Structure 1
């Protein structure tokens, strides 16, 4: 299997970098081929603008990014940095996005990578989205870190369900482009963890990757669940992400811990962190 890891963290000593390095070592040990796009190290240009379209323009008077990207695809005039990344995407069977959750989303440089690389024409076009997406038959996965605990990202947590938070990537990027989204691997609050806890998280990620070809994908409604207006049909129970059908009961997507068996180490870490916090609070008030 060919794996592309797109890594978006500025610190080579970060836990995100450790997750990326773990993935590279584990996957190669399993016989897979791996390429890494380290966006900060590459100095990747994150902003699509007029500089991306200096060779030729479909409309010299107005800059419509998607229109000009499609024109680039048709004329083979993508900027060299974009073309190089698109070649990696075409090469891979599995795409992994590695990033920290910043402001409830991916870092700007990674969002810019999506906007410039997954361009109209190349990654999607009229009639080639979701169940008919360009990258059907390939898989994609998020590996990310958070600043706060798993409890805060639980379905009843103050930050909201992590599965909902990641829906714009799992659905709006992966599924939209035809990839089969796999359950995310989320390392909750690694800065609050001990060295032993962080090692257990890395081991859990390595375990996930060693069986990556057998991991069950996230649930997405098939095309036949939708009507001609692209809304869920009456009587179809909404089961994924932010979707809700007013015309049928709603059963929300399973929380993150139900998507994988790696939650054991993470739950253990969460309990230890909460115990440390409670102990510190008790000492502070005594």
Structure 2
């Protein structure tokens, strides 16, 4: 797979964490395959998660009443988004695979990663109705969520205290990634690594490494709940 380009959007504060190790394995394994890897380390970058007026350079489309969605759309069309957003857009445009690596917080992604979604995947760049889902502007790119949980697998089962993991994943996989046109690959879930024995944690890392060896052969999932 030499020449393939991969973007890893990474959200964890500690490099020695399980998320840090999963990210490092992805970089190592995909680099061995000859892929070109870019990492957006959101905490290291001190990425701004808030959608504000600062994201728009120059005059507003409607200075009388600020509407972020409209202003970001117009700024995207006119090349007037802030430099940090232009840089993330460049990374996404170049990538053939985007991996989101994070710990599950309150049945979702950390705020800093959600902020990346809010600011980067703006109308005109990632979607533009009716250009969504199969015709989303990021079509022909693959994406997957790789994350850790605090609870074990049983907690995220149909009868578990946290509910079926598929319902937690639906807004992220279908409501965001598929909406923007990504071909969504099956998630890589590392259940409760903080409570697992050392050998179990090693197995989680080994499983991820093994999967990455054939990641380019994988087919997308439907993301539709039945």
Q: Which bracket does the TM-score occupy, shorter chain normalised?
A: over 0.9
Higher relative contact order (CA 8 A, sep 6+): 2
Q: 2:161 aligns with which of 158, 162, 184?
A: 158
Distance, in Å, in 2 between the alignment partners of 1:215 and 1:54 is: 40
Question: Gaps spanning 5+ residues in structure 2: where?
Answer: none
The 8 Å contact of residues 23 and 101 in structure 2, kept in 1 or not, is answered as yes
The 8 Å contact of residues 142 and 184 in structure 2, kept in 1 or not, is answered as yes
Distance, in Å, in 2 between the alignment partners of 1:77 and 1:219 is: 35
Q: CA offsets, 1:123-164, max 9 Å, x none?
A: 111221011111111110000000010000012211111121
Answer yes or no: is 1:131 the counterpart of 2:134.
yes
| Correspondence for 2:63 | 60
**Partner SS, residue 186 of structure 2:** coil
Q: 1:194 aligns with which of 179, 188, 197?
A: 197
Query: Which piece of structure 1 moves more, 43-52 or 183-192?
Result: 43-52
Distance, in Å, in 2 between the alignment partners of 1:54 and 1:178 is: 27
Pairwise CA distance, 1:33: 1.2
| Correspondence for 1:15 | 18
Larger radius of gyration: 1
Answer yes or no: is 1:45 the counterpart of 2:53.
no
**Partner SS, residue 164 of structure 1:** helix
Answer yes or no: is 1:113 the counterpart of 2:116.
yes
Across the aligned residues of Structure 1 and Structure 2, the Cα RMSD in angstroms comes to 1.0
Q: 2:208 aligns with which of 199, 205, 210?
A: 205
**Partner SS, residue 125 of structure 1:** coil
The 8 Å contact of residues 85 and 119 in structure 2, kept in 1 or not, is answered as yes
Answer yes or no: is 1:87 the counterpart of 2:96.
no
Aligned pair count? 223
Structure 2 length-normalised TM: 0.96
Pairwise CA distance, 1:199: 1.1
**Partner SS, residue 34 of structure 1:** strand
Question: Gaps spanning 5+ residues in structure 1: where?
Answer: 221-239, 242-251, 253-286
Pairwise CA distance, 1:77: 0.9
Pairwise CA distance, 1:38: 0.2
| Correspondence for 1:72 | 75
Structure 1 outlier segments of 4+, above 6 Å? none
Structure 1 length-normalised TM: 0.76
The 8 Å contact of residues 57 and 75 in structure 2, kept in 1 or not, is answered as no
| Correspondence for 1:99 | 102
Query: Which piece of structure 1 moves more, 51-60 or 106-115?
Result: 51-60
Distance, in Å, in 2 between the alignment partners of 1:65 and 1:188 is: 36
Distance, in Å, in 1 between the alignment partners of 2:219 and 2:90 is: 27
